[in-house]
Amino acid sequence: MRVAGVDAYGQVLNEYTGHRRVDGDEPAQPWAVYLAGTDRRFRLLCFDLDAKSAGSAPAAARDADVLCGLLHDVGLDAVVCESGPTGGRHVWTALAESVDAETVATLARLARHVCPSLDLSPLSNAATGCVRPPGAPHRAGGRSTVLSGVLDALTSPTGTAEQVRRLVEALAQLVDDAEPAHDLDPHRPVPLDDHSRLYLPGPRRELPAVSAAALREDAASGDASAVLWRVLIGAAAARWRHADVAALVEDSPGLEHVRTYRDRSQRRPRGPVDAARVLRRQWDKAVRHVASSPRQIGDDPTFDARADAIAAHVRDVQGRADASAGRWTTGGGPADRRVLDVLCILALQALSGAVEADTRRLALLAGVGRETARTALLRLSADGWIAQAQEAAGPHGAHWTIGPDSVIHTPADIDRSQADPRPAGAGAAERSALLATLSARSGDATHDLFTMAPGLGHHAGNTYARTTTEPQDLDELSARTGDSPERTARILDRLVSAGVLVRSRHGWRRHRTDHRTAAARRLDVDGRLDDRAHRYAVERELWAWWQAEDAWMRAPRRPGAKHRPGRGQLALVLTPDAGTHAYGPHPRRADGRLDWREARRIVEDERDGRAQRPRPPADDDVSSAEQVLMSVLGAVRIA
């Protein structure tokens, strides 16, 4: 076992540097046991749920309930301990059969996505991962105390490797259980019950563990809408009816979003009509979601393996970037990290390490200017973070490869024995989890408030993106941003002064509601990104128009200028010739040169809805079919 070290003043450190034999006397200072053996295969699993900051103990307790439910669902015995005086939790289970380190690391990453208080370290390091067992002392006083379960489950284990794989598969299904931002249209009709509410046919089952835990969760203290969604997703999948959920509204803490709504910092009760409307709308949305997303990996048998490969590649690039945190804090570093993150997102979406990305697209996704994005690509390429696989050509942007020195291994390259098959859906779930994490972080940093002066700047946005609604101290935030404590403190103070962060004696945290837009208005930078997006869209259309005109001028057998389709007529052509464009021929000046100013005016008027449409002919012999083409497609008659 490993034993905690002691400094020169006799204070116990949170570093386990010493070793003792397990058959000796119990050490006086905290001690921990290894989760894996010398063969790097796990025989103990412990989910270490941290409660380091004030008020985080309830979150650790909720996560422990979720994990216990998942363990119970697959037949694994759970022993829950209160790790020490701060209120953290250790959820233990023991295995009669060992499990390989890769499967356990996947289990940890997926569990972290569902249970944010989980510390990944013990389950991600087969060589040194260790946790204080039940009864071991805590450096802040007290001992690890058993709250539920029996110790015989740890000393006489019965868990199997197959049960662990089923646990990974259950977590993989939960990763995508986030409420969709748009309405869903199921691929098959959904029946109505006697009360005209949607339902899925089949025998009613017990709620899944995560949904049952959400039903008991104190939703009023957090995101009540997200908690309600977890309840409804599980209820719909378990073949419950709307009436079954409605009967629980009065007494279930997890249905707080139905009973009340948030008004700034407090919740106010809904009227009965409004409450019924909310439940009906969200219930129908959940049923449609389950009906159209049947928890499977489509029809492509290679998708899971390819998703696993690109997720591992992106995780490696992100890990190296996090280890080089100081690279992203000075000069163009903050913009470089945003662009690198966006390229990783595009790679995950495309399931490819090489992606096409023009500077304007990267600029809009990263919340920087196009020239900033261009120079960021050059710096990243010079430092070996990316490489240009293909130059820009015509309407196509350049192709960039992330992590060019790394190899994207296929599953055939991984030496896995037949006893350790990959859990089904784990690769797709890891890709989804990474996408969600990187997209959320990029979205938090991309805001008008974090543009250049008088905005707070890119580094302030990157720092804000690494904060949460839970307090974090200066050392933690400094380590996450890679900046010095002094400079991190100055940036945090600017964010507090702007009104987007709150400082307390426990550290810095976000407001429960987003205050960035209000802060941007105060700094008179609100709308900057929208203006930039509009400007780049116009520039894209002008470039495409010029490309079409250039192709027409270079065509060996080009049609005469008078016979080229005019504005609005291209919609009638199934296979347009090279050089045609929706705006028609490019405007020219009297001397025959291209008139860029007039072209920009035409494009901007079209995008702003100010464009003048040609009047249809007044002939009485215009057929109804021609009238449809003129009114719907903007066609005009040509002689």
Check residue 489 and give its pLDDT. 95
Hey, how many other C-beta atoms are within 10 angstroms of the C-beta on 416?
A: 13
Answer whether residue 127 shows pLDDT above 50. Answer: yes
Contacts of 161 by beta carbon, 8 Å cutoff, 6+ apart? 95, 97, 98, 99, 103, 419, 420
Answer whether residue 236 shows pLDDT above 70. Answer: yes
For a pLDDT cut of 70, what percent of the chain falls above it? 83
Using one digit for the tens of pLDDT, what is the confidence trace for 111-122? 998 888 899 999
User: 39-53, 56-70, 255-269, 621-635: which range is least confident on average?
Assistant: 621-635
Round to whole Å and give the CA distance between 468 and 116.
Answer: 11
Round to whole Å and give the CA distance between 436 and 605.
Answer: 37
Check residue 424 and give its pLDDT. 83
Check residue 551 and give its pLDDT. 79
Answer whether residue 527 shows pLDDT above 90. Answer: yes
Check residue 299 and give its pLDDT. 45
221-240: burial string, b at 16+ Cβ within 10 Å, e else:
bbebeebbbbbbbbbbbbeb
Round to whole Å and give the CA distance between 131 and 154.
Answer: 14
Select from 80, 86, 85, 88 the least CA-distant residue to 134.
80
Give yes or no for a contact between 498 and 519, defined as CB atoms under 8 angstroms apart.
yes
H helix or E strand, kind and range, residue 305: helix 303-323
The one-character DSSP state at 152 is H
Hey, how many other C-beta atoms are within 10 angstroms of the C-beta on 179?
A: 15
Residue 163 amino acid letter: Q
User: 126-140, 295-309, 375-389, 544-558: which range is least confident on average?
Assistant: 295-309
Q: Which two tokens mark 317?
A: 């690039």
Round to whole Å and give the CA distance between 387 and 354.
Answer: 9
Give yes or no for a contact between 124 and 67, defined as CB atoms under 8 angstroms apart.
no
Q: Is 34 helix (H, G, I), strand (E, B) or coil?
A: strand
CATH 3.90.920.10 positions along the chain are: 29-175
Check residue 491 and give its pLDDT. 96
User: 135-139, 221-225, 564-568: which range is least confident on average?
Assistant: 564-568
| Average pLDDT taken over every residue of the chain | 83
DSSP labels, 48-98: EE---STT-HHHHHHHHHHHHHHHHHTT---EEEE-STT--EEEEEEEEEE
Contacts of 243 by beta carbon, 8 Å cutoff, 6+ apart? 193, 195, 197
Hey, how many other C-beta atoms are within 10 angstroms of the C-beta on 286?
A: 26
User: 139-153, 237-251, 270-284, 384-398: which range is least confident on average?
Assistant: 384-398
The one-character DSSP state at 161 is H
Q: Which CATH number fits domain 29-175: 3.40.50.300, 3.90.1300.10, 3.90.920.10, 1.10.286.10?
A: 3.90.920.10
Using one digit for the tens of pLDDT, what is the confidence trace for 433-474? 998 899 999 999 999 999 999 999 999 999 999 999 888 889
Using one digit for the tens of pLDDT, what is the confidence trace for 311-354? 999 999 999 999 988 899 989 999 999 999 999 998 988 888 88
Averaged pLDDT, 35-53? 90
